[in-house]
Amino acid sequence: MVSSDPKENPRKWKHTVDLWPSNFPEGTEQARCWCGDLCVSKRCDDWDAKHGRRFWMCPNYAHDKAKPRNPYDYPPSPPPLCQFVKWIDLEQSTSHKEEVAYEEGRKWNYMFNLIREEEREKKMKIRLEKQRLEKEKKEQEEKDLREAEREKKRERARRAREDAEAQEDATKRKGKYPHWTQ
């Protein structure tokens, strides 16, 4: 299957020694791309239905250089001269299928664990907030009780002071000197 459609082409690939045409089954010929050069064989490294499949690729297609962190580190590369890609393995091997399934399962488990952890954190926040509110409410009730008790004591002291002043005033009204001297 020859394709220039970017959706069909692999996004990541790697060079390996076992990809030399001499290691391929008999009857597999090294392909020539549209520009006339002999193709190089590569193995797809995408984690999807193409993982592990071998393909022919034009040597002028692209390079395996990692993208720089800063786009100003390297000048932009020109577009590929030839976008020839031909799949050698039309089916994915069972070992690669199992590897992809295992990796996908691991990713799903990781994602579910993250979701569970987020839910656990939410519940913990709600529980801690509820405990904090209950503690504040209890402290406020205790404060109100203490304030009410202090108010009762102030009222009792005020009444006692008024009674003492009333008795003192009563003794002052009788006269300046004791009654036996008057």
Per-domain boundaries in the chain: 1-91, 93-169
Structure tokens belonging to residue 113: 């664990």
- Is the overall model pTM greater than 0.75, yes or no? no
Residue with tokens 């009762």: 152
Give yes or no for residue 12 having a pLDDT over 80.
Answer: no
**Would you state the pLDDT for residue 17?**
45
**Would you state the pLDDT for residue 180?**
61
Q: What pLDDT, in 10s, does the model give residues 95-116?
A: 878 887 898 899 999 999 999 9
Task: Kindly list the distances between the CA atom of residue 66 and the CA atoms of 42, 52, 63, 69, 81, in Å, as whole numbers in the listed order.
Answer: 16, 20, 9, 9, 19
C-beta separation of 41 from 19 below 8 A: yes
- 127, exposed or middle or buried, with CB in 10 Å at 0-12, 13-18, 19+? exposed
CA 161/CA 138 separation, integer angstroms: 34
C-beta separation of 59 from 40 below 8 A: yes
Q: What pLDDT, in 10s, does the model give residues 52-81?
A: 777 777 777 655 555 667 766 666 666 666
What is the chain's length? 182
The average pLDDT across 3-9 equals 52
DSSP state of 91: S
Terminal-to-terminal C-alpha distance of the chain: 137
Secondary structure (H, E, C), 97-157? HHHHHHHHHHHHHHHHHHHHHHHHHHHHHHHHHHHHHHHHHHHHHHHHHHHHHHHHHHHHH
